[in-house]
Structure 1
Amino acid sequence: MISTSKGGRPKKKPVERPFYEKQTDKETSSDIINQARVSLRSVVTERPFTPQTNERRLFPRGGSASGKTTERPPSAFSLDSAHFVGSDSRPNSGSSRPPSGSGRPPSGSARLLPLNHVPKISPSQAEILEVSPPKLPKPPGERQLSAKTKSRLKLLNSEVPILPQPLERRNSSPTTPTKSPAGSRRVHSGPKERTKNFYEERGEGEGAEQATRVLSAEGRINQSRSQRSNSCSSARSESGYSSDRTTRSGSGSRKEKESPKESLFWNTNIHPIVEQLVPQSKDVAEIDRMCELCDQLFIALLDANMLGKTAVRRSQTLKTVYKLIDLGSATLSLKAARIVLAFEVTGSNLITLCKLIFKISKNKDNDALFQENKILELMVKLIATTDHQKASEALVYCIGALKFLTGNNTVLKDLADYGCTEALARLLININTAIMDGSHTGQGVPNLLLQVTGTLRNLADKSATRATFISCQIIAELCKVIDAFPTDGDLMFNISRIFSKLTLNQECCTILTNHPTTFSSFLMLMNKHLTNIELIVRLCFIMGNLTARNDDCRYCLFSTENAMETLLSVFRTYFELDIVNQRSEEKVKGSPKKSTEMTKGQKYEDLFIKLIRVIANLSINQDIGPLIASNPNCVDLLLQILVDELMVTLLDSGNREIVYTACGVLINLMTDSVRRPILKSEGGIRKLIDVSHDFGRHDWQLAGMVCMILCNYSEKITCCAECFGEEETVDLIELLEDYLDEETPQEAPDGTDWDADTIEVMKSYWRTEFYPVATQLLNRIENHNSDLVPLVAPS
């Protein structure tokens, strides 16, 4: 006689086998656990939510997230041409400098004004000056005094004053010349003046008479030339140009002769444009004219290779271009900044230039201007070639501007093509090298790193740049920064955002896993910034990505010192905060206001999801899973959240991935016989049936996981009513019989529009992931389902 089940389906009589032989129609608990581990899939959770803001700031509002006050440059300041100095190659007059953004040029870079003092000249000196005019730089093409004439001057035995050169005269007050001691030589005397004079051998009287005749004749001839030379030298002195083409730097000075070809090109092509770069008004037409002239000047200088530090008449051009920013036009200011940047200014001028570029970049409407003016390429070159220890403040503003510009996807692509990622990687390596050498000082390095990591955070969004991140070893360098500045919350937050994006790539995960301090650094950051939920949630997301597919990574994280203690500490801290938050929300009447930002409750839920995912990934490992299941603190916390408030939220939210994470944890937890009664007492059986009912037809893999949990839970079943509950047993039998019908996976669920290929894929999942374990569970329930209550063993 063939018996039938309650659903009317014929029930086959099981084949009896010897007790020592493994039953082929039944699976043992170990078989079920092994199948669970094999079928577990990694859960891809959403990246942590970061709200977009329309405000562009150099540093986060309110200072460091670590709660410590830091000295950081301001995001707002005023700029005009007075902030630029006439020549950036001169040494500063002083060393002190007011704070940045004060609105005044730094005192250390300002020129000393000439004294309003006219020296008194004695009659004897006036007579000498009348006979012998002061030596001035000769105009182009004019011959100088011969060597014989210079020698004859010594025979006069007179107090001939030695006046400074035009460039020297700008920074020195005119004073009455003093008589040099007899026999002494001037500091700036040439080699010819140091040789023995011919006239000294012939006799003083004859030599003096001949020298007087020569000077009288040449004095009359050169008098008019001296007047012209005075006016010419004065003009050149004001513009910073001299015929010697002297350039000074901090390490010394260097002279470069202007070639006739350069002089001709300047006078013919450059000088006419520079002369016109004097705005007559601030109206639109005049600004447009200045913009056109700036383009012409830049192209002319670029074509003639007359840009850079040693360019011809560089100071004269810069002084003219500086004044263009006073017109207040962003377009004109950026075109002027392009010329200044191409001249490779340094010192305080470089700081002011980078502040100007930063100020223009704060407005999103100006993003297109950077693409039109070729300034992006010059900015990348500046980052790649500038010493961060000498120009850290300038780099802060320059890279801060790039951080804003990389928020624009169009500009981001251009910067990636110009090698921005490589330049930042080189700078990052140099900074870490300086840190290891102990040569970095002050707050300048963390401020600079904040801008570097902020820009890299935007570049990491572009999948094409990830190969550069790998080849330039940026991941390893960022790990070094974590070890160097672990207390800087803002900096750690930027790095966590970079890793959140990079760890979506498997190759990046491998590199980060292979770094020796990765997990210890992450756990250390969790302990130091326990209350910084924005950082904690990203660290959990990163560790979840690392442990999703790599079993060695699970060993590395679990074996790190105090790993589970740290994860559970985070778990416990935010679980308590969530309870307090729920109570406070219950007291507030009315609906919450709509906001683009996540509420506290949503942030806590997001953290729990990512933290449980880490624990679930660790539990997949066959050695780590039982250890986690035997940890009473871990199990208690998970059960309080999974069969408590969060479990209800997870099941009612309709998020399949969240439920999948919880089921992955429960599969391993139910292997512990001590923990099984808690599942029923907290209503877990009913919740699992509901999960299978809600998601089963859409996800046969998830429905199979529910069956695995119930199989593990019912390993020592004697009566279905006692194990699952009477009502739960009836519902479970009906659900399993319906799902095991072969026609069920061949139909698309209600509300879905699956094509034939999708239905075929889902059918294969039903056949491999759901059918075997569901059949095993149904047979177990039917074998132990009876209306008779088992007798209690006598005491």
Structure 2
Amino acid sequence: MASVERKQEKQGPFYLGYDTKRPTSAEIVTEARRSLRTLQTRRPFTPREEHRQLFTGSHDGRPPSTFSLHARNFEVPDSRPNSGTRLSPLGHKPGLPRPPPDERTDRRGSGGARKRLVRARSLTLELCTSQHSTAPQSVGVHEPTVSMKSSHHVYTKSSHPGHNQERTEKPLKITTQIPTEHRTLRSSNADFSRAKGKPPDTWHGRGDAAGDDGIDDESLFWTNDVLPVVQTFESVAPGGTVAPETIERLLEACRDLYNVLLEKGMLGKRLKRRSYILRALFRLIDLGSDPLNLALAQLILALEVSGNNLLNICKLVFKISRSSRNDFLFQDDPVIDSLVSLIDDCNSGGEAVLYCMGSLKLLSGNSSLARLLLDKDFIAVSLRLSERLVQFSDPTTCPTDHHTHTVAGHILVQVTSALRNMADFPESRPSFLSNDVFSRLCAVMDRHQEDQDVCLNVSRIFSKLSSYAECCSVLAETPSCYRLFLSLLCKHSRKQALTVRLLFTLGNLAARSNHARERVYEEENTTGVLLELFQSYLQVPENHPHEEEEEEEDVLIKLIRVLANMSIHPGVGSSLAANTQCVELLMKVIELRSVDESPETVVNALTAINNLSYVQGECSVVRLRHAHVSRLLLRLLLSPRMDAVLEATRVFGNLSQIEEVQSFIIGNKVHQFVVALLDSKNPDMCFSACGVLTNLAVDPKNRVIINQEGAIHKLIDCLRDFGPQDWLLATQVCQTLWNCTEDTEQEHAQELLEILSLYSDQKALKWPSSADIKAYQEACWELKFLPVAERLLKRTRRLATVPGCHQ
């Protein structure tokens, strides 16, 4: 009877398998650890820009980051000066016939200048006082104006050094403007009040109830409230050095003027003497004070300048934002609201938005300001702008010229740079996970594939966000990303900064799910694109600068990781394992790269080979080339780098099922090294060593050789040390002990019996306090360890009762 039991116990070595029932979830986890593994790697490093500017790298064809800006750069009519004393109209017309107009005559002498000035002021006066005129307002600029639907703020004094500004929000929406040539005045004050969401008022003389007296009310407001502040501006001579006290007085005047105009609803273009105010504000820019210039910019933007003046104000804000020392000025200033509103307006475009967006990009690099922008829904606003710019550059929906497409690309560089900065903050992830952000960013990339700066910025966003599980899952469900990434890898294959981030993102996608692995592989010519890149970066020309060599090596690391993670999918893994070029390139990495100089490259290549080595059959190139692979592994086992030793041992764990490989291991004394790894006190190392020994011990001759190295004693020590903490490792140790021991093995029977008896008693074991961890540990113990341990325990009990057994 005992002999029958022994025959039933000896059903064969564990590596052949003894249970064909459907695996449980815990068994699936076990098999994942024992076999295929995903590769992780560090995210590509992006150095912080030393100098704040619009564009990095080559600036060919890009707008400048540096420029001179003075009061003289601002144009009429917004800054048209007063002509002095207002002339009364002539009581009669001259009797002489009027000569034909001659521009050259008008340009000569003061008389011609005065004639033009009076004519322009008369036109302005007519448009401002006419209540029901429908004639377009002439402002001398033909570019579309930009409305700012922002929440304006009341300025109050602050104790903030160098800034002295605080704000309390007081929402007031400015009516949307349309291009100058199509703009008409509102017909009544009631219309304006309805647009503001306030009841009609009559103080400014535009309502029906006010009649002609309203003009006097506005004049009184101008005389009492506005003119004294403007005179404060005019009292300071432009240019030269100005005392700090004078700057503070001007800052206070800016706050007062902003608040009084806001209170009376006269921001925008409603005030008739608006040009007078603007002229006084423009001349103060030459004082060169950044705090003052920022206050001037906010006030001028609130007065809704347009055309070249709007561009210059945006340039002025950009110049201020270029210095990180000025970041604190923006912290409590409503100018950020104006900038965000400017880029969110549907009529926005051109260079003004470029420099406005450039300022926001630079400010988003400051963590405090980035969080402030996040509170203002900056990510959603930026995405809306990018969507409009993509439509501008799409010839099928909005035919445009080359210049418009180019400007749209310039702005998109700023938008994507700002979003790249925002992606650094955990608080921003919900915004990126909503509103179909990844699809919209893919559309930006797709439309501007030739613009490497745009593509690089978006790839950096994907690189950062795909490192997080939720974001990676959403990106994996974005169908357009797979085709787009491969297309860009073809188009910009030698652009290392872009290529490495695309590969890193693909590697993250392939690390998450079989669905993503399959989607990557199913794209047209995926394998061809990846292997062509592989060959290109593996055989790079020599004598490269050290920094460039590091970038190229990083591309190789990320590319091999994509292949290793893709190979986990059964179908994809079988295809790659049968691809001779793929396997040979991986082996060539181990041949050409030193593990000391390129450790991550070599380890990734070993992991990819290990995953492919699980594919059995005649189609597996790794198994067909097992002799060559074994020689490469032997060299790595002697490396001082334990991660390389671990991966090499794992590959031997798979290939040691082949008899020729077993002979190679014994013949080159690799088994001695593997047995020594059991003393490493590293669970992963012990697990891999057990895999090799399990396969070797199938052959009785090898079993004797292994036991001569003290394998059984070391295995028992591993079981004692790691069992309660790692039941998967304990299971593997028991399987190895089963293969390494025979029916007559009595030397260690008693010691093994005590350990197995303890570990088989659930009540005698100490379990983790965490409910989740305890549930997982109990499942591993019951489903994986206990069946193997009880089988080994039964045989050990019988051996321990044999007379003469070592006590």
Please classify the TM superposition score into its range, dividing by the shorter chain length.
0.5 to 0.7
Find 1:500's aligned residue among 463, 469, 494.
463
Unpaired runs of 5+ in structure 2? Answer: 100-105, 131-136, 139-179, 189-204, 207-213, 681-685, 687-713, 746-807
Q: Deviations for 1:283-312, whole angstroms, at most 9, x for unmatched residues?
A: 332222212211222222223322123345
- Once residues 261 and 764 of structure 1 are traced to their aligned partners in structure 2, the CA distance between those partners, rounded to angstroms, is 88
TM-score by length of structure 2 reads: 0.67
Find 1:659's aligned residue among 594, 603, 612.
603
Letter in 1 for 2:472: C
Q: Deviations for 1:693-735, whole angstroms, at most 9, x for unmatched residues?
A: 9359xxxxx95x7655223212122684434533212222333
Find 1:277's aligned residue among 212, 216, 233.
233
C-alpha deviation, 1:603, in angstroms:
2.0
- The aligned length equals 606
Does the CA-based 8 Å contact 2:678-2:718 persist in structure 1? no
Does the CA-based 8 Å contact 1:432-1:477 persist in structure 2? no
Q: 2:182: which partner in 1?
A: 251
**Residues 283-302 of structure 1 mapped to structure 2, 5 A cutoff:** 283-302=243-262
Find 2:66's aligned residue among 73, 76, 80.
76
- Once residues 509 and 336 of structure 1 are traced to their aligned partners in structure 2, the CA distance between those partners, rounded to angstroms, is 44
C-alpha deviation, 1:342, in angstroms:
1.2
Q: 2:492: which partner in 1?
A: 529
Q: 2:356: which partner in 1?
A: 398
Q: 1:771: which partner in 2?
A: 733
- Once residues 775 and 706 of structure 1 are traced to their aligned partners in structure 2, the CA distance between those partners, rounded to angstroms, is 22
- Once residues 441 and 481 of structure 2 are traced to their aligned partners in structure 1, the CA distance between those partners, rounded to angstroms, is 10
* Secondary structure at the counterpart of residue 454 of structure 1: helix
C-alpha deviation, 1:61, in angstroms:
2.8
* Secondary structure at the counterpart of residue 295 of structure 1: helix
Q: 2:378: which partner in 1?
A: 420
Q: 1:602: which partner in 2?
A: 550
**Residues 576-591 of structure 1 mapped to structure 2, 5 A cutoff:** 576-577=539-540, 580-581=541-542, 584=543
Letter in 1 for 2:249: R
- Once residues 119 and 252 of structure 2 are traced to their aligned partners in structure 1, the CA distance between those partners, rounded to angstroms, is 27
Q: 2:676: which partner in 1?
A: 734
- Once residues 96 and 491 of structure 2 are traced to their aligned partners in structure 1, the CA distance between those partners, rounded to angstroms, is 75
Q: Deviations for 1:585-607, whole angstroms, at most 9, x for unmatched residues?
A: 8xxxxxx9xxxxx7233223322
The yes-or-no answer on 1:679 pairing with 2:629 is yes
C-alpha deviation, 1:471, in angstroms:
2.0
- Once residues 26 and 160 of structure 1 are traced to their aligned partners in structure 2, the CA distance between those partners, rounded to angstroms, is 117
Q: 1:574: which partner in 2?
A: 537
Does the CA-based 8 Å contact 1:745-1:763 persist in structure 2? no
Find 1:489's aligned residue among 422, 431, 452.
452
Letter in 1 for 2:656: S
- Once residues 495 and 739 of structure 2 are traced to their aligned partners in structure 1, the CA distance between those partners, rounded to angstroms, is 45
CA RMSD of aligned residues (A): 4.3
C-alpha deviation, 1:74, in angstroms:
1.4
Find 2:318's aligned residue among 350, 358, 363.
358
Shift of the 175–428 alpha-carbon distance from structure 1 to 2, 3 Å rule, reads: same
Does the CA-based 8 Å contact 1:450-1:491 persist in structure 2? yes
Does the CA-based 8 Å contact 1:746-1:763 persist in structure 2? no
* Secondary structure at the counterpart of residue 16 of structure 2: coil
**Residues 361-510 of structure 1 mapped to structure 2, 5 A cutoff:** 361-388=321-348, 391-434=349-392, 435=394, 436-441=396-401, 442=403, 443-510=406-473
- Once residues 621 and 715 of structure 1 are traced to their aligned partners in structure 2, the CA distance between those partners, rounded to angstroms, is 22
Does the CA-based 8 Å contact 1:287-1:332 persist in structure 2? yes
Comparing 540-549 with 433-442, greater Cα deviation is found at 433-442
Q: 2:667: which partner in 1?
A: 725
Does the CA-based 8 Å contact 2:630-2:661 persist in structure 1? no
TM-score by length of structure 1 reads: 0.68
* Secondary structure at the counterpart of residue 437 of structure 1: coil
C-alpha deviation, 1:669, in angstroms:
2.9
Q: 2:803: which partner in 1?
A: none
C-alpha deviation, 1:662, in angstroms:
3.0
Find 2:289's aligned residue among 329, 332, 335.
329
Q: 2:48: which partner in 1?
A: 52
Does the CA-based 8 Å contact 1:42-1:617 persist in structure 2? yes
C-alpha deviation, 1:406, in angstroms:
0.8
* Secondary structure at the counterpart of residue 55 of structure 1: coil
Find 2:657's aligned residue among 708, 715, 719.
715
* Secondary structure at the counterpart of residue 493 of structure 1: helix
* Secondary structure at the counterpart of residue 424 of structure 1: helix
Find 1:343's aligned residue among 280, 294, 303.
303
Shift of the 707–112 alpha-carbon distance from structure 1 to 2, 3 Å rule, reads: same
C-alpha deviation, 1:392, in angstroms:
1.6
Which protein, 1 or 2, shows the higher relative CO under an 8 Å CA cutoff with sep ≥ 6?
Answer: 1
- Once residues 715 and 634 of structure 1 are traced to their aligned partners in structure 2, the CA distance between those partners, rounded to angstroms, is 23
Shift of the 720–15 alpha-carbon distance from structure 1 to 2, 3 Å rule, reads: farther
Q: Deviations for 1:216-253, whole angstroms, at most 9, x for unmatched residues?
A: xxxxxxxxxxxxxx99x979949966794464432255
C-alpha deviation, 1:161, in angstroms:
9.5
- Once residues 564 and 73 of structure 1 are traced to their aligned partners in structure 2, the CA distance between those partners, rounded to angstroms, is 40
- Once residues 767 and 407 of structure 1 are traced to their aligned partners in structure 2, the CA distance between those partners, rounded to angstroms, is 50
Does the CA-based 8 Å contact 1:399-1:452 persist in structure 2? yes
Shift of the 599–409 alpha-carbon distance from structure 1 to 2, 3 Å rule, reads: same
Does the CA-based 8 Å contact 1:239-1:315 persist in structure 2? no
C-alpha deviation, 1:640, in angstroms:
1.0
* Secondary structure at the counterpart of residue 669 of structure 2: helix
C-alpha deviation, 1:30, in angstroms:
12
* Secondary structure at the counterpart of residue 439 of structure 1: coil
Shift of the 616–276 alpha-carbon distance from structure 1 to 2, 3 Å rule, reads: same
**Residues 75-114 of structure 1 mapped to structure 2, 5 A cutoff:** 75-88=65-78
Find 1:618's aligned residue among 566, 573, 592.
566
Q: 1:310: which partner in 2?
A: 270
- Once residues 732 and 411 of structure 1 are traced to their aligned partners in structure 2, the CA distance between those partners, rounded to angstroms, is 56
- Once residues 648 and 762 of structure 1 are traced to their aligned partners in structure 2, the CA distance between those partners, rounded to angstroms, is 33
Comparing 406-415 with 42-51, greater Cα deviation is found at 42-51
C-alpha deviation, 1:43, in angstroms:
3.1
* Secondary structure at the counterpart of residue 255 of structure 2: helix
Shift of the 465–431 alpha-carbon distance from structure 1 to 2, 3 Å rule, reads: same
Letter in 1 for 2:388: N
Shift of the 772–660 alpha-carbon distance from structure 1 to 2, 3 Å rule, reads: farther
Does the CA-based 8 Å contact 1:667-1:712 persist in structure 2? no
Does the CA-based 8 Å contact 1:736-1:774 persist in structure 2? no
C-alpha deviation, 1:765, in angstroms:
5.7
- Once residues 318 and 426 of structure 2 are traced to their aligned partners in structure 1, the CA distance between those partners, rounded to angstroms, is 27
C-alpha deviation, 1:661, in angstroms:
6.7
Shift of the 689–612 alpha-carbon distance from structure 1 to 2, 3 Å rule, reads: same
- Once residues 720 and 558 of structure 2 are traced to their aligned partners in structure 1, the CA distance between those partners, rounded to angstroms, is 35
The yes-or-no answer on 1:668 pairing with 2:664 is no
Q: 1:268: which partner in 2?
A: 224
**Residues 10-21 of structure 1 mapped to structure 2, 5 A cutoff:** 15-16=6-7
C-alpha deviation, 1:282, in angstroms:
2.3
Does the CA-based 8 Å contact 1:87-1:240 persist in structure 2? no
- Once residues 480 and 737 of structure 2 are traced to their aligned partners in structure 1, the CA distance between those partners, rounded to angstroms, is 47
Letter in 1 for 2:634: I
C-alpha deviation, 1:83, in angstroms:
1.2
C-alpha deviation, 1:263, in angstroms:
3.8
